[in-house]
Amino acid sequence: MILTTTDVIQGSIIQSYLGIVTAEVVYGSNFLRDFFASIRDIVGGRTGSYERLFEQGQRKALQELEQRALRLGADAVVGIEFDTGTINVDQSGVLLLITATGTAIKLRN
C-alpha cells in the first residue's frame, strides 16, 4: 500500500478512484502533560510530550487510513492531508483530535 501526500504516483497510472477515506484519532487530555506544557509556555521552548503525542497520532491515523482503504480494495491513498483540532468536553478538559484524509485509488497493473 502506497500512502502519499502527492496527487499522483510517479510511474503509475490510476485505474480508478475508490473514494475519500478518513481516519480519526482522539486523545484525552493529561494533567501532567498539560502542566508541563504550561510551564514551557512561560519559559519558552518545545513541548516534547505533545510533539510525541502528535507524532504517534499521525502514525495511528495513517494505519487506520490504510486499513479503510484496503477494505475498499485500494492499492494506494493519494493526496493525504492531516488536520488537528480540539473537542471541548467540559470546563475541565479537552480532547485532541488528529484526522488524516486522502483518496483511495486502484492502480493499473
Residue 100 · residue 62 · CB < 8 Å: yes
CA angle 51, 35, 91 (to 5 degrees): 100
CB 87 within 8 A of CB 97: yes
Q: Is the Cα torsion angle 52, 53, 55, 60 positive or negative in sign?
A: positive
Report the amino acid identity of residue 80.
Answer: I
In one-letter notation, the amino acid at residue 29 is S
Provide the whole-model pTM: 0.78
User: Mean pLDDT of all residues in the chain?
Assistant: 84
φ, ψ for residue 47 (rounded to 5)? -105, 95
Residue 87: its H or E element: strand 76-90
Least confident of 12-16, 92-96, 104-108: 92-96
Per-residue pLDDT tens over the stretch 38-76: 445 445 555 666 778 888 999 999 999 999 999 999 999
Class of domain 2-107: alpha beta
Helix (H) or strand (E) holding 104: strand 93-107
User: What does the domain layout of the chain look like in residue ranges?
Assistant: 2-107
5-31 per-position pLDDT tens digit: 999 999 999 999 999 999 999 987 654
